[in-house]
Structure 1
């Protein structure tokens, strides 16, 4: 049992390592892959090392989409839910509702694409216009195609995804605006109609439930868009405040440097005056010493002369 438990733990470990690897920026992907594979091989996990070596470096756009999935799990799952609702809506709703949801889809894809670009920039890699378009294309594919959604949900995309030309509508599920079907041949009066009416009612209720889920997903996506716009405004305001503080600090540094330069010049002049004063003091001390010596000599001479007179 411990052996099986240990293997399950190793499987979880390698999945975590692969998630980490695909969240690694493309310029560092190869070196990180080699490091993780070598570690697994050293630990005696040959199969894990093989899986890690088999990982392919993602494009910059695919990496940004992976980063979005790993960094924003709650919002990413809501995005998947929106895709499920939209795909169902294209099979069941009328043209007006489809247009409304499609407009919201465009807004949400734009917001999520900007979020991915922000995450990439914060990680040190600015996305080009082409890469941002690939991110948006990937997110549109996630909304439109279930298999694309499943791929993104792995968090290990290697390249950008391409959406289909339109959402699948299903040939057997025409929208409500379609022309009415031809009337069926009259049935005998003795055939009961209630079961057919009940079936139609259940189908109608299911369509309404699916429509309601799609609307809820669209509302959640719209709220997410508003939240992202608020966060962007707050980030812009914070950037302006940071720039103002930076400009003030730079001016303070310039003023301090100027003051320091003036203080150093004042110190240089004071040092020169100190040296000159020390030189004058030394000369004065020498003069005093010489005068004292001359006075002593004169006094000695005077005493000698007075002694001769006596």
Structure 2
């Protein structure tokens, strides 16, 4: 049950927000995420705010791949159709279909990768050769694997995808497979070698992907830590400024009080001097009168 102060999330609204978030360039992702989560929270949509805050910043390659289904929907649908056709052809061992689709696959992956690079450049981020290779690997994974295709179609990848295994060339497909007496397909030494090589390559790519994700996670954590430290320094500086303002206000008040006291003292001193002067004149006058009167009596 929800507490009375928490409203249910707006499903359509939060999906739109997440779509926007995952096409935000990675350097601006965290600040944009926090801003959108704060807006949802201020609107009383606590569940939406939690979903938004749970979004993880995509790698540069994943972000570039995300741009395609958002900005090139027609081409992306065609690309997904090509992947389904390729997977169906390999399942049915249609050699002619595999040959035709494989040639198309190479050109389409190249074209889609160029489009991703162009979209990234328009957003202010040119893709390096290693990042572009990750985009191409992601697109090959989309063609080879239905789960990868479904994930890419959402436009919310967080990291580049690795193909589970690349499609073999058309010449390696045999429609007249020989079977052992037990009915199992007989694998040639070269096929076993290729299989081992493919496993080793997938393992290497997976290790590279994990290492890249770790580097990106550490970089993001460092960036967030630096942001926290900056906010803390800013808070301390503001507190010090407020304390300095208070000391300045107190010093000014003390100065005004001292000036008032000085003016009062100067006034009292002037009044005392005037009183003394009048007393001195009165004393002189009295002495003169005594002397005058003394002369008469003589």
TM-score under structure 2 length normalisation: 0.54
Gapped regions of structure 1 (runs ≥ 5): 1-5, 169-173, 183-310
Matched residue count: 172
* RMSD over aligned Cα atoms: 2.3
Q: 1:50 to 1:7 in 2, by over 3 A?
A: closer
Gapped regions of structure 2 (runs ≥ 5): 1-6, 182-298
Distance in 2 of aligned mates of 1:88 and 1:152: 19
Secondary structure of the equivalent of 2:37?
Answer: helix
Provide, for residues 55-101 of structure 1, a one-character-per-residue CA deviation record: whole Å limited to 9, x for no partner: 00000110001011100011101111110010000011333432332
CA contact (8 A) 2:140 2:166 kept: no
Distance in 2 of aligned mates of 1:78 and 1:7: 37
User: Which structure 2 residues correspond to residues 17-36 of structure 1 after superposition, within 5 A?
Assistant: 17-36=17-36
Secondary structure of the equivalent of 1:68?
Answer: helix
Q: Which residue of 1 aligns with 2:146?
A: 146
CA contact (8 A) 2:8 2:45 kept: no
Q: Which residue of 1 aligns with 2:48?
A: 48
CA contact (8 A) 1:94 1:175 kept: no
Distance in 1 of aligned mates of 2:139 and 2:27: 23
Higher relative contact order (CA 8 A, sep 6+): 1
Provide, for residues 164-194 of structure 1, a one-character-per-residue CA deviation record: whole Å limited to 9, x for no partner: 22349xxxxx953434899xxxxxxxxxxxx
TM-score under structure 1 length normalisation: 0.52
Deviates more, 1:98-107 or 1:59-68: 98-107
Distance in 1 of aligned mates of 2:19 and 2:73: 13
User: Which structure 2 residues correspond to residues 52-201 of structure 1 after superposition, within 5 A?
Assistant: 52-167=52-167, 176-179=175-178
Q: 1:175 to 1:91 in 2, by over 3 A?
A: farther
Provide, for residues 250-282 of structure 1, a one-character-per-residue CA deviation record: whole Å limited to 9, x for no partner: xxxxxxxxxxxxxxxxxxxxxxxxxxxxxxxxx
User: Which structure 2 residues correspond to residues 297-308 of structure 1 after superposition, within 5 A?
Assistant: none
